[in-house]
Structure formats: structure tokens, C-alpha cells
């Protein structure tokens, strides 16, 4: 019975997730083209707020604990393990005052409503995992952007998450 409930709730969340991404795609476009990068980032934070609150559909309860107050007056590089599709949503929400720009595989910058647009327009480093030279140049570009904007960076250094969650 639990598997059936999990399947139904999971399907509802995926439907909700997709709908939110499709709705926020044009909102992000308007924010970026009419108001610039900072307002676009704010729209991404609202998008992630909706996605995070949607986890209640699954019965998920999230909490965040910081052992120290994170600085917002200077860029910070955040490094995390990538365990599931939920960790990025939570990370963006928790770090929203730091405006994290992600180091991401370039494949995610195509064809995913809202997510691809955000990666393309935010200044994220879109790396080709088969081309180390391109990856280094892209991360150097991100470093320069962070220096100019005072945004932060976020990276999941192990790359693709594992199917089992094991590291």
C-alpha cells in the first residue's frame, strides 16, 4: 500500500514540478529582458520557493541548519554532495541571499523549461565534461563574473549523482 501511495504522490509532485517550471519560464524571460540579472535571480528564488513548498505533496518536511552565519557581503563558493533532484532546490532556496551561480554540465542548458533558461542567462558555468580545457575556461569566466557581481558559486564536484545515493 505504501508503494502505491508513494507512486501517486510522486507522480503528483512531478506533474506539479513540471507545471511550475513551464509557468515560470516566461516569467524568467520577462524578468531578465526587462529588469536584468538581479531581478531574474529573484524570480528564480520565487520559482524555487514554489518547488520547495511543493514537496509537501510528498509529505516531505525540510529543515535547514547553518552552523555559522553565511556572509552576504562577499562571494562564497559552496560545495555539496549531489544526492537527489531535491538538493538543488533546497540549496538555491537556503542560499538565495548569496545568489549562487552553478557549475553545471552543458547538457542541462538545453530543453528543460526554466532550468535551462536560468543556466543560460544567470552566468552559470556550463562545462563540457569531455573537454577539460573548455571546462577550465568556463570556470575562469565564472570566477571573473563572480568578482564583478559579488554573486557566489555552487558546485557538486562529484558530478552526476548516483542511482543509489552512495558516494
Rounded Cα distance between 140 and 91, Å, is 23
Of 44, 66, 78, 74, nearest to 153 (Cα)? 78
> Minimum mean pLDDT among 24-33, 136-145, 156-165: which range?
156-165
Question: pLDDT tens, 101-114?
Answer: 999 999 999 999 99
Query: Strand order in 77-79's β-sheet?
Result: 77-79, 152-155, 100-105, 125-127
For the chain, what percent of residues have pLDDT higher than 70?
93
The ranges assigned to domains in the chain are 2-61+71-155
Residue 125 to residues 28, 39, 158, Cα–Cα distance (Å): 19, 20, 16
pTM for the full model? 0.81
Q: Which residue has the cell 538545453?
A: 110
Residue 28 is predicted with a pLDDT of: 96
Residue 167 is predicted with a pLDDT of: 46
Sign of CA dihedral 36, 138, 148, 80: positive
Q: What SS3 state is found at 109?
A: helix
In this predicted structure, the answer to whether residue 85 has a pLDDT above a threshold of 80 is no
Q: What SS3 state is found at 138?
A: helix
Amino acid at each position: 500500500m505504501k508503494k502505491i501511495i508513494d507512486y501517486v504522490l510522486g507522480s503528483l509532485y512531478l506533474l506539479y514540478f513540471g507545471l511550475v517550471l513551464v509557468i515560470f519560464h516566461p516569467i524568467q524571460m520577462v524578468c531578465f529582458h526587462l529588469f536584468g540579472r538581479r531581478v531574474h535571480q529573484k524570480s528564480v528564488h520565487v520559482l524555487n520557493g514554489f518547488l520547495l513548498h511543493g514537496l509537501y505533496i510528498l509529505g516531505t518536511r525540510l529543515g535547514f541548519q547553518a552552523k555559522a552565519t553565511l556572509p552576504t557581503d562577499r562571494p562564497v563558493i559552496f560545495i555539496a554532495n549531489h544526492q537527489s533532484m531535491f538538493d538543488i532546490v533546497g540549496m538555491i532556496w537556503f542560499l538565495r541571499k548569496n545568489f549562487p551561480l552553478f557549475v553545471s554540465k552543458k547538457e542541462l542548458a538545453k530543453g528543460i523549461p526554466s532550468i535551462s533558461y536560468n543556466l543560460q542567462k544567470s552566468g552559470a558555468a556550463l562545462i563540457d565534461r569531455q573537454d577539460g580545457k573548455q571546462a577550465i575556461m568556463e570556470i575562469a569566466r565564472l570566477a571573473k563574473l563572480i568578482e564583478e557581481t559579488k554573486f557566489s558559486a555552487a558546485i557538486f564536484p562529484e558530478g552526476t549523482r548516483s542511482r543509489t545515493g552512495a558516494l
